[in-house]
């Protein structure tokens, strides 16, 4: 059941990305170009996501346990540290240069495998490099 829910959630997320145009790097770069030909579409997509998440958190608080699991596994809050700031900066630079972030990049593999593949390969390389650095740090 969990796999079916995961598959359906992923398909819904991918369909939303495709319908909203968020798999188009030019649309994302247009949103980031506030001094030029600004495209506000991404702001509306983000606003819609915030509303959906607010509703989801409200529903979650009323539930005793999730539908397909024994208990909720929610991330805790942590302080803002150098690792968080560095990761956010790296994410922002990659998003601005590539016009994609992880979700849309993976969904784009289905439509534009060559272009998205370069981004996904770079993203996976960065993730692997972080694991190596974390291992070295202990």
For residue 54, what are its two tokens? Answer: 């607010």
Do residues 29 and 104 touch, judged by C-beta distance below 8 A? no
Q: Is 61 within the bounds of a domain? A: no
Global pTM exceeds 0.85? no
Whether the pLDDT of residue 78 is over 80: the answer is: no
Q: Is 6 within the bounds of a domain? A: yes
Whether the pLDDT of residue 120 is over 90: the answer is: yes
Give residue 12's domain range: 2-40+79-137
Q: Is 70 within the bounds of a domain? A: no
Q: How many domains does the chain have?
A: 1
CB count within 10 Å of CB 107 equals 22
Which sign does the torsion angle of CA 8, 9, 12, 13 carry? negative
pLDDT tens by residue, 25-57: 888 889 988 899 999 998 998 999 999 999 999
Whether the pLDDT of residue 137 is over 90: the answer is: no
Do residues 6 and 94 touch, judged by C-beta distance below 8 A? no
Q: Longest Cα pair distance anywhere in the chain, in angstroms?
A: 50
Q: Is 67 within the bounds of a domain? A: no
Supply the pLDDT for residue 44. 92
Whether the pLDDT of residue 63 is over 90: the answer is: yes
57, 72, 91, 130 from 76: Cα distances, Å: 14, 12, 21, 21
Q: Is 131 exposed, middle or buried (0-12, 13-18, 19+ CB in 10 A)?
A: exposed
Q: Is 68 within the bounds of a domain? A: no
Q: Is 64 within the bounds of a domain? A: no
């Amino acid at each position: 059941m969990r796999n079916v829910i995961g598959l359906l959630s992923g398909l819904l997320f991918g369909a939303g990305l495709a319908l909203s145009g968020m798999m188009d790097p030019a649309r994302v770069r247009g949103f980031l170009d506030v001094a030029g030909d600004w495209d506000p579409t991404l702001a509306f997509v983000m606003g819609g996501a915030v509303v959906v998440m607010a509703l989801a958190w409200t529903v979650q608080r009323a539930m005793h346990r999730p539908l397909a699991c024994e208990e909720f596994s929610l991330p805790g809050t942590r302080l803002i540290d150098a690792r968080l700031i560095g990761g956010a900066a790296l994410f922002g630079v990659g998003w601005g240069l590539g016009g994609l972030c992880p979700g849309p990049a993976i969904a784009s593999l289905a439509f534009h495998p060559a272009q998205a593949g370069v981004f996904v390969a770079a993203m996976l390389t960065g993730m692997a490099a972080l694991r190596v650095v974390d291992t070295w740090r202990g």
